């Protein structure tokens, strides 16, 4: 099993007043290991409407592997991999956005609604090192996923 060069993965989504909170939380849980704790915070929008923020921080290697395996199962995984250079910041963070509606149907694909932010290990903490580590990790996760087929 490959080393996971990530300090953590943060996932976050919003449930607006017109949405069913349970469905929105279920969409976020599509990425997470079973029984993983999801934080819930209530807020108010610009016009006073209620917004519930669901978030989860995955810090253990097994949990991070699980989240990455979900990402590797995405039909547009090759696009994620091809766009890595544009998705890693100078702060060594990998940013992705996924379709909330698709995730509710247990399908992982790029889109809007769920934010994925992962802090990539890099020594020294330089973007190029983070990019290389993320590339290697995502290749390993994809290889692990295809080995199980």
Q: Report d(CA 22, CA 2) in Å as an integer.
A: 34
The β-bridge relationship of strands 50-58 and 6-16 is antiparallel
pLDDT recorded at residue 3: 73
Half-sphere exposure of 6 (CA within 13 A, CB side): 31
pLDDT recorded at residue 20: 95
Tokens of 78: 């090759």
User: Which one, of 20, 21, 38, lies nearest residue 29 by Cα?
Assistant: 38
pLDDT at 145 over 80: no
pLDDT band at 45 (very low <50, low <70, confident <90, very high): confident
pLDDT > 70: percent of the chain: 95
**Under 8 Å between Cβ of 27 and 103:** yes
What secondary structure does DSSP assign to 72-132, as a single string? HTSTTHHHHHHTHHHHB-TTSEEEEEEEHHHHHTT---B-SEEEEEEEEP-SS--HHHHHH
Mean pLDDT over the full length of the chain = 92
pLDDT recorded at residue 114: 98
What residues does each domain of the chain span? 6-147
Tell the residue number behind the tokens 């990539």, with chain if given: 120
pLDDT digits (tens, 9 = 90+) for 62-86: 999 999 999 988 898 999 989 999 9
Q: Report d(CA 24, CA 27) in Å as an integer.
A: 5
Q: Which CATH superfamily is domain 6-147 in?
A: Ribosomal protein L5 (3.30.1440.10)
pLDDT at 27 over 80: yes
pLDDT digits (tens, 9 = 90+) for 98-141: 999 999 999 999 999 999 999 999 988 899 999 999 999 888 88
Q: Report d(CA 97, CA 123) in Å as an integer.
A: 26
pLDDT recorded at residue 73: 87
Residue 48, C-beta contacts closer than 8 angstroms, at least 6 positions apart: none
């Amino acid at each position: 099993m490959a080393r996971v060069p990530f300090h953590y993965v943060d996932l976050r989504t919003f449930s607006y007043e017109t949405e069913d909170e349970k469905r929105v939380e279920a969409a976020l849980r599509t990425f997470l290991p079973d029984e993983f704790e999801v934080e819930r915070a209530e807020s108010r929008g610009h016009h006073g409407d209620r917004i519930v923020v669901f978030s989860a921080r995955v810090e253990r290697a097994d949990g991070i592997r699980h989240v990455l395996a979900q990402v590797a199962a995405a039909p547009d995984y090759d696009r994620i991999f091809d766009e890595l250079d544009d998705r890693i910041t100078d702060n060594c963070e990998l940013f992705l956005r996924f379709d909330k509606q698709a995730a509710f149907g247990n399908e992982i694909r790029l889109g809007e609604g769920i934010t994925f932010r992962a802090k990539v290990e890099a020594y020294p903490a330089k973007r190029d090192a983070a990019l290389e580590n993320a590339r290697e990790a995502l290749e390993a996760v994809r290889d692990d996923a295809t080995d199980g087929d």
